[in-house]
């Protein structure tokens, strides 16, 4: 098989046998919009021969009262319950990845800052791409704890693909 180049002169992933993005970080929080990002990541990985690292962050103390309303975790759960919740999230993603023939590393971590945990996870596991769901609130419209997606976008050194809820739903 010849490693042909495309007319543009750029080698394709298929031609070189190596994916352009080797390892994709997929944060998961069990929400609908997270599921959209997870599905897209698995499809992308399958098509490009990438592997996935999926991460669920258990926030170790209750979120600020004004935090994003669609946080999928009940701040009253104790640590064991939080851990179990995070495990369920990554197991679900792992199962879907396995069904698609995509290698997947599940991670759960306790952190008071999901964005830090995501950025650390990407760095520590050599991820070169992040697919994540955003709960859709743009800008600093209120004095919130701040969008985790914004923080990841502001600091990530690798591309971040953001999936948002469809208008009127999600």
Residue among 13 and 100 whose Cβ is closer to other proteins:
13
Contact present, 24 and 127 (Cβ < 8 Å):
yes
E strand or H helix that includes residue 87 = helix 79-99
Among 3, 4, 12, 84, binds other proteins (CB under 8 A): 12
| Contact flag: residue 67 with other proteins (CB under 8 A) | no
| Contact flag: residue 84 with other proteins (CB under 8 A) | no
Contact present, 114 and 56 (Cβ < 8 Å):
no
| Contact flag: residue 39 with other proteins (CB under 8 A) | no
| Contact flag: residue 85 with other proteins (CB under 8 A) | no
Q: Which window, 12-20, 52-60, 76-84, 95-103, contacts other proteins (CB under 8 A)?
A: 12-20
* 104/95 Cα distance (integer angstroms): 9
Sign of the torsion angle spanned by Cα atoms 143, 33, 35, 72: positive
Ramachandran angles phi, psi of 30, nearest 5°: 80, 0
Pairing of strands 129-133, 160-163: parallel
Residue among 26 and 94 whose Cβ is closer to other proteins:
26
**Chain position carrying tokens 């948002």:** 164
| Contact flag: residue 169 with other proteins (CB under 8 A) | no
| Contact flag: residue 51 with other proteins (CB under 8 A) | no
Diameter of the chain measured on Cα atoms: 59
Among 71, 151, 165, 170, binds other proteins (CB under 8 A): 151
Chain residues that interact with other proteins, rule: CB under 8 A: 6, 8, 10-13, 20-21, 48, 113, 116, 129, 138-141, 143-147, 150-151, 153-155, 157-162
């Amino acid at each position: 098989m010849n490693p042909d180049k495309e007319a543009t002169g750029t080698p394709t992933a298929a031609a070189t046998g190596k994916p352009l993005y080797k390892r994709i970080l997929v944060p998961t929080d069990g929400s609908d919009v997270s599921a959209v990002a997870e599905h897209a990541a698995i499809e992308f990985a399958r098509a490009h021969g990438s592997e996935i690292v999926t991460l669920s962050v258990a926030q170790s103390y209750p979120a600020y009262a004004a935090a994003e309303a669609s946080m999928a975790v009940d701040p009253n759960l104790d640590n064991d319950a939080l851990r179990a919740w995070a495990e369920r999230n990554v197991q679900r993603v792992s199962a879907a990845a396995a069904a698609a023939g995509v290698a997947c590393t599940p991670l759960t971590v306790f952190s008071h800052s999901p964005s830090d945990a995501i950025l650390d996870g990407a760095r520590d596991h050599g991820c070169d791409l992040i697919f994540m769901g955003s709960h859709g609130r743009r800008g600093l419209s209120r004095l919130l704890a701040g969008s985790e997606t914004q923080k990841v976008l502001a600091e990530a050194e690798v591309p971040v693909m953001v999936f948002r809820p469809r208008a009127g739903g999600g």
